[in-house]
Amino acid sequence: MDMIMALWFPVLATAISVFFVSFLCWMVLPHHRKDIQALPDEKPIFEAIRSLAVPPGLYMWPNCADPADYRSKAFIARFREGPWGTITISPTKPNFRKNLLVTFVVYFSVAIGSGLLIHWGLGYGGTFMEVFPPAATMAFLAYGLGPICGATFLGKPLRFMITDFADGILMALTNGVVLAALWPALG
């Protein structure tokens, strides 16, 4: 219980600070403005998805329902010809309040993980430079490197990965600075 009482404020302040940096990256700074583009003509795609009654999920094309079909001449021809892509069909309309809350919970979880990692290794006390490196490193693994695996596999554009990586660095530095600045002193 002592650990929870000592770490609740630094962890909460860290999560709020990272949330604010994320907001600045996406809503104020210009580097994400071209990451997500509009289709030239959405109407035929909307009509096709509706007419096929595509259920919610993540889809990649070309693709096969049966892995054995990947070797078929028909699939190989579709694969060579292209186009290639992914699409996510959501079950509901976007709920930005819910999405922001879930995003904050992720940032809070990374801050908790950082705090626990540092507490287990260092305990209370320690200088700014003893707390900052592990706090920033853990956050960098989550925010900077974590998204890259899925982004590369799903074929997201390099530009998108670079801007997300840059955001991850800023968020990791914020996680490290705030947690180190507010780290509890020896009790």
Give the pLDDT confidence score for residue 187 in this predicted structure: 54
User: Rounded distance, CA 142 to CA 114, Å?
Assistant: 10
Give the pLDDT confidence score for residue 108 in this predicted structure: 97
Give the pLDDT confidence score for residue 78 in this predicted structure: 92
Give the pLDDT confidence score for residue 4 in this predicted structure: 75
Percentage with pLDDT > 90 across the chain: 60
State the pTM of this model.
0.83
Give the pLDDT confidence score for residue 1 in this predicted structure: 58
Give the pLDDT confidence score for residue 147 in this predicted structure: 87
Give the pLDDT confidence score for residue 86 in this predicted structure: 87
Distances in Å between the Cα of 6 and the Cα atoms of 16, 72, 185 are: 17, 61, 9
Q: Are the beta carbons of 22 and 107 closer than 8 angstroms?
A: yes
User: Rounded distance, CA 58 to CA 174, Å?
Assistant: 32
Domain ranges of the chain: 2-38+93-181
SS3 85: strand
Give the pLDDT confidence score for residue 131 in this predicted structure: 95
User: Rounded distance, CA 185 to CA 6, Å?
Assistant: 9
Below-70 pLDDT ranges, the chain: 1, 186-187
Strands (E), the chain: 57-61, 85-89
Q: What is the DSSP letter of 70?
A: G
User: Rounded distance, CA 142 to CA 111, Å?
Assistant: 10
